Structure 1
Amino acid sequence: MRVLIAEDQALLRDGLVRLLTAFDFEVVAAVGSGPELERALAELRPEVSVVDVRLPPSFTNEGLSAAIAARARVPGLPILILSQHVEPLYARELLANGGHGLGYLLKDRVSDVRRFVEAVRAVAEGGTAMDPEVISALLARRAREAPMEALTAREREVLAVMAEGRTNAGIAARLSVSEKAVSKHINNIFMKLGLYPDEDDNRRVLAVLAYLNG
């Protein structure tokens, strides 16, 4: 699987290269600035990109802006954003772009190698991988702005764990319920959000995006 890395801190960038290479990813480029990232995304068309929010020269949202622009050119281009801190505004901006293949993790999560690699693969395959802390911040803001009153408290809990990219079994283990109960909750969520079976759409992704993006 071809992966592009954009990270301005040399030690972390090299560490990501070594880590992903060890798990059989092909690192096609490892860049350290916004302009380099824009060129690499346009020229290399990686299967997934791991991108720091803040990159030179501005150290504001260069990485995020480049990722959003790339997804505008190539809808669904898989992007996993890394951030030093919880920045719900940036997460919402990314989610507003819509589509599949999105992730937003705190950099601290990289230390959990297994979960990080799972997140990269999930995004590459068109899924979502949202950091629990980012989810909490987004849900708190959404609750203040426009709560999804149709969903029960348990259904919102299921959606929150689903956004981390977990399977039904993973959701069941986290919430200490049966997989049958999780499946029932998810079907209810789909119906309440108007997400009906469609072979061209991943309803799990659409449900997460609809809930988090509002």
Structure 2
Amino acid sequence: MRVVIAEDNALLREGLVLLLNSAGHEVVAVVGSGPEIMPALLEHRPDAAVLDVRMPPTFRDEGLRAALEARLLLPGLPVLVLSQYVEQSYATELLTGGTSGIGYLLKDRVGRVDEFLDALERVVAGGTALDPDVVTELLIRRRDSPLDSLTPREREVLKLMAEGHGNATIAKDLVVSERAVHKHIGNIFLKLGLPPSDSGHRRVLAVLTYLGHTPPA
């Protein structure tokens, strides 16, 4: 896997390089400021980009802006965004265009090597990797939503779906059968009023509803 890293903290930046190299991946470019991100992505066209949300020169949302621009100029580019804190507006804006090949993790998660690498691999495979703390925070802030009709177990299943887990992993985490998970997901689709279509598309719509978006027509 060829990766571009954008991180202004030198210690974390070098740690990411070492971690990815040790896992057998190739870091093709490392940048430390917002304006450097797009040129590096366009030059190297990596398999994935790992971007810090807040970068110089303003330390506001340079990494997020670059992620959104990269998704337009390099369609399908897997992007894993790192943030120091749960920032709801950043997470929802990043996911507005869909959840395929998108990840949003808190930087603390990087220290949990297996979790970080698993998240990156899920993103590169076209999946979603949302930090559990981010998902929990988004759920807490939701009020009077279609989610109110879901049972506690269905909410647990949808939360794990939002984190990017497949049915087998969800079944393992909840200690239930995959058949039970499939049934819960069917109930979620029904209660959220999602249109009949392929299950993959409805899964994305369910996650977008969970995160507070209006499902696309």
Same structural fold, with TM-score higher than 0.5 when normalized by the shorter chain: yes
What secondary structure, in the 3-state scheme, does the structure 1 residue paired with 2:70 have?
A: helix
Separation in 2, partners of 1:155, 1:51: 32
**Amino acid of the residue matched to residue 3 of structure 1?**
V
Separation in 2, partners of 1:168, 1:146: 24
Task: Please name the residue that 2:160 is paired with.
Answer: 161
Deviation digits for residues 72-113 of structure 1 (CA, Å, limit 9, x no counterpart)? 223332111100111111101111122510000000011111
Separation in 1, partners of 2:105, 2:24: 21
TM-superposed deviation, 1:67: 0.6
What secondary structure, in the 3-state scheme, does the structure 1 residue paired with 2:29 have?
A: strand
Task: Please name the residue that 1:208 is paired with.
Answer: 207
Separation in 2, partners of 1:108, 1:158: 24
The range that moved more, 179-188 or 84-93, is 179-188
Task: Please name the residue that 2:143 is paired with.
Answer: 144
Change (3 A) 1:99 1:195: farther
Task: Please name the residue that 1:193 is paired with.
Answer: 194
TM-superposed deviation, 1:43: 2.0
Separation in 2, partners of 1:162, 1:99: 11
Change (3 A) 1:69 1:90: same
Deviation digits for residues 34-67 of structure 1 (CA, Å, limit 9, x no counterpart)? 0111211222221111110000001011000111
Separation in 2, partners of 1:213, 1:124: 24
Q: Matches of residues 36-115 of structure 1 in structure 2 within 5 Å?
A: 36-115=36-115
Identity of aligned residues (%): 59
Unaligned residue ranges in structure 1 (runs of 5+): none
Cα pair 1:190 1:196 within 8 Å, conserved? no
Deviation digits for residues 157-194 of structure 1 (CA, Å, limit 9, x no counterpart)? 10101222223232123223222211211233345422
Unaligned residue ranges in structure 2 (runs of 5+): none
Calculate the aligned-residue CA RMSD, in Å: 1.9
Change (3 A) 1:87 1:59: same
What secondary structure, in the 3-state scheme, does the structure 2 residue paired with 1:55 have?
A: coil
TM-superposed deviation, 1:17: 0.6
What secondary structure, in the 3-state scheme, does the structure 2 residue paired with 1:76 have?
A: coil
Separation in 1, partners of 2:116, 2:69: 24
| TM-score of the two chains, using structure 2 as the length reference | 0.89
Change (3 A) 1:40 1:213: farther
Separation in 1, partners of 2:21, 2:159: 30
Deviation digits for residues 128-147 of structure 1 (CA, Å, limit 9, x no counterpart)? 00001100111122x22533
Residues paired across the two proteins, number = 211
Task: Please name the residue that 2:173 is paired with.
Answer: 174
1:117 aligns with 2:117: yes
